[in-house]
């Protein structure tokens, strides 16, 4: 993979020049993410907090993790640390150290976002016991419905069921593998300069940075995020809301209905076929990254409080 352009972005550029009609669902999902995906969900529905930290070097980052007795693979409890941005020298580290620091940095961010989603699920599931809905509950429900672009029905139970399909966790293994693939293990230009781990676009110059290589007539920019946590949140929202990932959400709902204790990241990766112009080849690559880095073997992990 190029150190300057995430793989997903170069795929989209190529496809835009060759088969634009097939790219429309992906572009639509990305546009929706740039419009809504980075914004916080209703604050009243989340109590998950992380300590934001900044470091000047990979050595300092490793020392920070050692100070918190945080190693890879992690134990059951993970420190609630939110690295704001990767150190500039991350790409210069030996591959094993780079991978370790990359995974350690992102894991708390993914766990925190999944915990927020779980809180919202529990809130939604609890609404049935609070009928009729209070004005505050109705307002929160409407805010979530708007965020996930769902049309209101005449049946609150159906509205809740529709939201539960969209508001759910994404396996840690899947997020880590895609982030590594799309960002060159945190060393790509977009990861370093824009905290963008997943190649998300914007059409507003003030919100992004221009790719070094862009097709003639293309006007997109790569979205700039204030922090790595914002990039993770936007990506997970994209999978939970984007039309292109309906199959992923369907498979996840089926796993939950069967009572699965954990979602199968390897299976859900097949729902990413429309994330890249490379389709099945891209899915196979993500699955290989999950297997090769033993990410599916991560146990049940929780943030320290």
pLDDT at 6 over 70: no
Per-residue pLDDT tens for 22-69? 444 444 444 444 443 434 454 445 678 999 999 999 999 999 999 999
Rounded to 5 degrees, what are φ and ψ at 235? -65, -50
Distance from C-alpha of 180 to C-alpha of 174, rounded to nearest angstrom: 10
pLDDT at 268 over 60: yes
199, 222 in Cβ contact below 8 A?
A: yes
Per-residue pLDDT tens for 280-301? 999 999 999 999 999 999 988 9
Per-residue pLDDT tens for 189-206? 999 999 999 988 787 877
Q: Name the residue among 30, 36, 40 with its Cα closest to residue 149.
A: 36
The pLDDT of residue 217 is 65
Distance from C-alpha of 11 to C-alpha of 42, rounded to nearest angstrom: 34
Show the beta-strand stretches assigned E in the chain.
51-53, 77-78, 81-83, 201-202, 208-209, 221-223, 302-303
Q: How confident is the model at residue 210 (pLDDT cuts 50, 70, 90)?
A: confident
Burial class (CB in 10 A: 0-12, 13-18, 19+), 27: middle
215, 7 in Cβ contact below 8 A?
A: no
Q: What percent of the chain has pLDDT over 90?
A: 68
Per-residue pLDDT tens for 120-136? 999 999 987 667 888 89
Give mean pLDDT, residues 90-105: 98
Q: What percent of the chain has pLDDT over 70?
A: 82
The pLDDT of residue 19 is 40
Distance from C-alpha of 185 to C-alpha of 1, rounded to nearest angstrom: 10
Give mean pLDDT, residues 139-166: 92
Q: How confident is the model at residue 4 (pLDDT cuts 50, 70, 90)?
A: very low
Please list the residues that pair with 302 across neighbouring strands. Answer: 77
Please list the residues that pair with 222 across neighbouring strands. Answer: 201, 209
- Residue 174, both tokens: 């899947």
Write down the residue that tokens 């995020």 correspond to. Answer: 225
The pLDDT of residue 215 is 66
Q: Is the dihedral of CA 132, 137, 139, 140 positive or negative?
A: negative
Give mean pLDDT, residues 102-108: 98
């Amino acid at each position: 993979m190029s150190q300057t352009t995430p793989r997903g972005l170069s795929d989209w550029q190529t496809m835009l020049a060759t088969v634009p009609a097939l790219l429309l669902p992906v572009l639509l999902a990305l546009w929706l993410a740039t419009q809504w995906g980075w914004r916080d969900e209703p604050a009243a529905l989340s109590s998950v907090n992380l300590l934001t930290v900044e470091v000047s070097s990979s050595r300092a980052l490793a020392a920070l993790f050692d100070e918190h007795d945080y190693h890879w693979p992690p134990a059951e409890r993970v420190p609630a640390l939110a690295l704001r941005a990767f150190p500039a020298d991350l790409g210069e580290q030996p591959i094993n150290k780079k991978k370790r620091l990359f995974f350690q940095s992102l894991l708390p961010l993914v766990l925190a976002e999944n915990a927020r989603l779980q809180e919202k699920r529990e809130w939604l599931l609890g609404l049935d016991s609070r009928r009729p809905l209070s004005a505050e509950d109705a307002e929160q429900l409407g805010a979530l419905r708007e965020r996930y672009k769902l049309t209101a029905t005449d049946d609150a139970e159906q509205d809740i069921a529709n939201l539960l399909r969209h508001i759910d966790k994404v396996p840690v293994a899947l997020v880590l593998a895609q982030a590594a693939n799309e960002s060159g293990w945190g060393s790509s230009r977009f990861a370093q300069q824009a905290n963008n781990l997943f190649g998300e676009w914007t059409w507003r110059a003030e919100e992004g940075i221009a790719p070094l290589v862009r097709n003639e007539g293309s006007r997109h920019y790569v979205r700039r995020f204030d922090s790595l946590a914002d990039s993770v949140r936007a990506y997970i929202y994209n999978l939970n809301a984007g039309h292109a990932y309906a199959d992923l959400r369907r498979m996840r709902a089926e796993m939950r209905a069967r009572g699965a204790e954990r979602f199968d990241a390897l299976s859900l990766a097949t729902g990413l076929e429309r994330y890249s112009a490379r389709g099945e080849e891209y899915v196979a690559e993500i699955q290989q990254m999950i297997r090769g880095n033993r990410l599916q073997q991560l146990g049940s992990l929780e943030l320290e409080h």
